[in-house]
Amino acid sequence: MVQAVIAETLRSRGSDDEAVPEMNRQWVIDKLQAFLETASVKYLRGSPLSGGGYHVLDRPEREVQAAAQIIEQILDRVLPHWRTADWPANDSQPYWRHREATNRAIAQLEAEQELIENLGSGAPQLDAATLHPWVWGSVQGLWSSGHYREAIGMAARAINAQAQTKLGRRDASEAKLLSDAFSTNPPSLGHPRLRLMLDDGSDTFKNRHDGAGNFARGVYSAIRNPIAHEIDEELDENEALEQLAAFSILARWVDAATVAVAI
């Protein structure tokens, strides 16, 4: 896609950890159009004896050179291969390749939004049906009727119910239950643990379980609890889908984990 190519070209010219600003498309188009005026040519007829004719720049070459210095940097980003592209040559005209590339770049940038709207952005799309069954299976009816806030709450309750059943606990729920279950402490009486890997004493074991416990607290505290109290305002579908995906991640961890109990 045009947008992806431009973005990738911009990234490739910066360091790995340097934030690259988004291209100002209109500014670029204005610069390109101004260059076409600066680098315009005219045809001069030859003398009656020599016949033929030739092209010359309308403006002083030093002025065109200065403009070309800037435009080359723009073209390197928009059309990375413009210097070596196999275009029909017109060597009789000075700066013909610059003008050819500039015209092509303008056409590409002006059509960019239309291309994106009709061809799609190329970005991966999240299919709700691929979410964990505990999540999507519990909310399909609510989702199809546009009850997104209630669907998020239902997904949160479904995961809690599954976790309580798996752990054999009814004395705790939601964030408290799962943060305790993912604790790196050894299991104790009444406190079974969920294990995503064997406890080998590594930082990976600690990070995975501390992270899962913190994640569980986060989705229940920052997503589940607020929507339970803000019942008068419906969620936007895209925002709700992102929240549903967060609960799907938690569901997969709970489902995949083994239960460790005190011996």
Q: Is 84 in the same domain as 42? A: yes
Q: Is 133 in the same domain as 254? A: yes
Q: Is 209 in the same domain as 88? A: no
Q: Is 92 in the same domain as 205? A: no
Single pTM value for the model = 0.57
Q: Is 170 in the same domain as 113? A: no
Domain boundary among 87, 119, 151: 119
**Number of separate domains in the chain:** 2
Domain boundary among 102, 119, 136: 119
Query: What does the alpha-carbon distance between residue 167 and residue 117 come to, in Å, rounded to a whole number?
Result: 48
C-alpha distances in angstroms, 21 versus 10, 77, 113, 120? 9, 13, 18, 22
CA 115 to chain centre: 18
C-alpha distances in angstroms, 248 versus 23, 158, 253, 255? 35, 11, 9, 10
Q: Is 82 in the same domain as 159? A: no
Q: Is 89 in the same domain as 24? A: yes
Q: Is 98 in the same domain as 213? A: no
Domain of 16 in residue numbering reads as 2-119
The set of long-range contacts for 60-65, using a CB threshold of 8 Å and a minimum separation of 24, is: 61/94, 63/38, 64/38, 64/39, 64/94, 64/95
Q: Which residue matches tokens 């340097």?
A: 18
Q: Is 142 in the same domain as 200? A: yes
Q: Is 40 in the same domain as 115? A: yes
Count the neighbouring beta carbons within 10 Å of the beta carbon of residue 236.
9
Query: What does the alpha-carbon distance between residue 56 and residue 44 come to, in Å, rounded to a whole number?
Result: 7
Domain boundary among 58, 86, 119: 119
The per-residue pLDDT string of the chain (263 residues; one tens digit each, 9 = 90 and over) reads: 334 444 444 444 443 434 435 678 889 999 999 999 999 999 888 665 666 778 899 999 999 999 999 999 999 989 989 999 999 888 889 999 999 999 999 998 988 867 777 776 667 778 888 999 999 999 998 998 889 999 999 999 999 999 999 999 999 999 999 999 999 999 999 999 999 999 999 999 999 999 999 999 999 999 998 887 776 778 889 999 999 999 999 999 999 999 999 98
